[in-house]
Amino acid sequence: MSDVICGIDLGTTNSCLALLRDGRPEPVIIEEGSAIVPSIVSLDDATGRIIVGRQALNRFAAFPHHTVRSIKRLMGKETHVKLGDRSYSPEEISSFILSYLVTAGAAVIGSEIRRVVITVPAYFNEAQRRSTIKAGELAGLEVVRIINEPTAASLLYENCEDEGGENETNSPCILVYDLGGGTFDVSILEVKGEIKEVLASCGDSALGGDDFDERLIAHFLRHIREQSGYDFSDDQDRALHSRLKAVAEQAKITLSDAPYARISEVAVTVMNGEPVNLELELSRREYEEMIDDLVARTMEKVEEALKEAHLEADDIARIILVGGSTRTPLVQERLEQLFERTVSFSVDPDLCVALGASVQHGLITGESVGHILIDVTAHSLGMKTNDSFDPETGDADYFSRIIRRNTAIPVRKAEVYYTNYDNQDRVEVEVFQGESESCRENALIGAFPYPLKPAPSGASVVVEFAYDKEGLIHIILEQKGYDNRKEVTLDIRTNQVTVRDEAVAEGKITNYMVSKGRKLAQRSDAPQKMRDELSALLDEYVAALESNDDEETIDSLEERLLELMDELEDAATGE
């Protein structure tokens, strides 16, 4: 077996192993189809065996005194942790995680792993770095280099063919925003060729996704109290807490992609012999209110880092998102407000540090590192909403983004919208791609009507976009609380609209031209003759579509339609 060098992200919550295969960084899938391994170690008293990763996580609730998590926080300290009767140094515990990663990883890749690059936070001092090297040595590894996590992330993005959060500036500065489970770090790096200097690094070692979970747990406990009268808020029951933590984490992850999360848990605990259930629906909006102050604290640190580096937000050429909690839409939104540009990630934020560490290995050994090929959305996708409704023209022009630019595909995201008045009978759904807040400046991809069932004003319509590698956007619309669902597929390359519901059977297929054309034909500031002509041509076009006329006829009708629509628009605006 040949020897390979791997990159290791030895994280507080999770760890990950990656390697360069044919010059391309790749994560090593170790557990249950995932490259992400919980940084948890447990001692099985009966056998004396050390258990690491997901299995150790599963033991946490039952064997809390034999299990340790977040050992990274103790690196560099002269201390010991107890697992049952045994006592271990932080280096020893970390060495168990490293051993597990390389042993399991070697079995997957079929090569021995003896030499590794390990990442550490930029703020780690000398003692903490030495402690990390020692952990590697205890695991029988040669630590060829220790690199800073933000540096690793930046190395990866240098070899990535996307433009995430880029600014039109020649500045060599990048900002790495790393929000994990238990810690938050922000670093600003200056890139001078191969040298990356850390200009500023700050954070909060007790702020992360775990705190988001805690807010949700408190909400659940309040809900249980209101529903059942039982108050568990001061309860020290670890089993209840770890059950609610798992529910909270799942709800939080759901809310990153959808506007609502339904929670339905039977017997989270037992009281007076009766099961206590947890049954509620949570909206993203409610959740965001719960975590708003926590996210705001991270933004204060970002501003602190900018100040420390003597830079303005505009001087940052690129923003890199690292850590699972950066999938939270509110985090991305707040960063966008601060930096006034779209921010997203294209490489999985859980993997990019380990992948970057494997790139570092390539630089050490002189192996050429190829670009990472990732399929990302080239533009944001979203729909027109009436946030900027103009009563004079009856026009709404606000572009509401559902899928952000540079998001890895396939991707599925949902948002909620609200009706404007009682018994609103339909929504004209218009799908756009682009980056402007104004739909007029973006490209229209397709449009179709969505009939609504009678409901009071403010009724919710959940819109889900799923975008796949074939360039198809599958849209599902659901009027919440009413039995009214519609599925539509748009082909982004051809602007073809396919409606998969009763409208297809009735042959009522429209495409964006029809929708736009009908609106134009109603404009009172355009000459009546042109409006009539347009209406007639639209009818002819729809009839041709419905009767599946030959392509030539449809093409020629489309051409005439486009011309007439342009003319009418010019005439209406007096040009």
Q: Which stretch binds ligand AMP (CB under 6 A): 248-256, 403-411, 429-437, 484-492?
A: 248-256
Is 53 an interacting residue with respect to ligand AMP (CB under 6 A)? no
Q: Are 238 and 229 in contact (CB under 8 A)?
A: no
Taking CB under 6 A as the binding criterion, the range among 57-65, 320-328, 411-419, 508-516 that sits at the site for ligand AMP is: 320-328
For ligand AMP (CB under 6 A), the number of binding residues is: 18
**Ramachandran area for residue 330 (φ above 0: left; ψ -120 to 50: alpha; else beta):** alpha
Helix (H) or strand (E) holding 37: strand 36-38
The verdict on 328 binding ligand AMP (CB under 6 A) reads yes
User: Applying CB under 6 A, which part among 7-15, 141-149, 406-414, 539-547 lies near ligand AMP?
Assistant: 7-15
Distance of closest approach, residue 306 Cβ to ligand AMP, in angstroms? 23
DSSP 160-211: BS--TT--S----EEEEEEE-SS-EEEEEEEEETTEEEEEEEEEETT-SHHH
In the list 256, 346, 358, 510, the residue contacting ligand AMP (rule: CB under 6 A) is 256
Q: Answer yes or no whether residue 350 interacts with ligand AMP by CB under 6 A.
A: yes
3-state DSSP of 417-444: EECCCCCCCEEEEEEEECCCCEHHHCEE
Task: State how far the Cα of 212 lies from the Cα of 265, in Å rounded to an integer.
Answer: 19
Residues 6+ apart with CB under 8 A from 574: none
Residues contacting residue 460 through CB under 8 Å, at least 6 positions apart: 259, 416, 417, 418, 479, 480, 481
Q: Which of 543, 492, 261 is nearest to 377 (CA)?
A: 492
For ligand AMP, give the closer residue by CB, 325 or 406: 325
Contact with ligand AMP (CB under 6 A) among 109, 138, 144, 253: 253
Q: Which of 76, 181, 382, 517 binds ligand AMP (CB under 6 A)?
A: 181
Query: Does 14 participate in binding ligand AMP (rule CB under 6 A)?
Result: yes
Question: Tokens for 447?
Answer: 């449009």
Verify binding: residue 298, ligand AMP, rule CB under 6 A: no
- Tokens 């619309």, residue located: 477
Binding ligand AMP (rule: CB under 6 A), the pick from 136, 164, 165, 180 is: 180
Q: Which is nearer to ligand AMP, 172 or 329 (CB)?
A: 329
Q: Which of 91, 149, 185, 249 binds ligand AMP (CB under 6 A)?
A: 249
Give the nearer residue to ligand AMP in terms of CB position, either 53 or 180: 180
User: Contacts by 571-574 with C-beta closer than 8 Å and gap 24+?
Assistant: 571/526, 571/527, 571/530, 572/520, 572/523, 572/525, 572/526, 573/525
Cα 162 to the chain's mean position, in Å? 16
Q: Which is nearer to ligand AMP, 36 or 141 (CB)?
A: 36
Two tokens at 147? 């690199």
Nearer to ligand AMP, 13 or 515 (CB): 13
Q: Which is nearer to ligand AMP, 293 or 551 (CB)?
A: 293
Q: Of these, 99, 148, 325, 515, which contacts ligand AMP (CB under 6 A)? A: 325
Of 252 and 404, which has the nearer Cβ to ligand AMP? Answer: 252
Quick check: 13 binds ligand AMP (CB under 6 A)?
A: yes
Least distance to ligand AMP, CB of residue 210, Å = 6
| Residue of 91, 204, 210, 415 interacting with ligand AMP (CB under 6 A) | 210
Name the phi and psi angles at 164, rounded to 5.
-50, 125
- DSSP H helices in 314-459: 329-339, 352-365
Can you tell me which residue has the tokens 């059950």?
Answer: 243
3-state helix, strand, coil in the chain (%, to 5): 35, 30, 30
Is 380 a binding residue for ligand AMP by CB under 6 A? The answer is no
For position 449 contacting ligand AMP by CB under 6 A, the verdict is no
The correct pick among 11, 76, 150, 259 for binding ligand AMP (CB under 6 A) is 11
Q: For residue 64, is the peptide bond before it cis, meaning its omega torsion is within 30 degrees of 0? A: no
Interacting residue with ligand AMP among 203, 259, 323, 382 (CB under 6 A): 323
119 touches ligand AMP by CB under 6 A? no
What is d(CA 224, CA 356) in angstroms, rounded to the nearest whole number?
A: 44
In the three-class reduction of DSSP (H, G, I as helix; E, B as strand; rest coil), residue 250 is classed as helix
Stretch that binds ligand AMP, among 65-73, 81-89, 231-239, 322-330 (CB under 6 A): 322-330
| Segment contacting ligand AMP by CB under 6 A, of 287-295, 325-333, 543-551, 555-563 | 325-333
Shorter beta-carbon distance to ligand AMP: residue 12 or 511: 12
Provide the minimum distance between the beta carbon of 325 and ligand AMP in the complex, in angstroms, as a whole number. Answer: 4
For ligand AMP, give the closer residue by CB, 121 or 517: 121
CA distance linking residue 397 with residue 384, whole number of Å: 6
Query: What span, in angstroms and rounded, lies between the C-alpha atoms of 417 and 455?
Result: 14
Interface residue list for ligand AMP (CB under 6 A): 11, 13-14, 180-181, 208-210, 249, 252-253, 256, 323-325, 327-328, 350
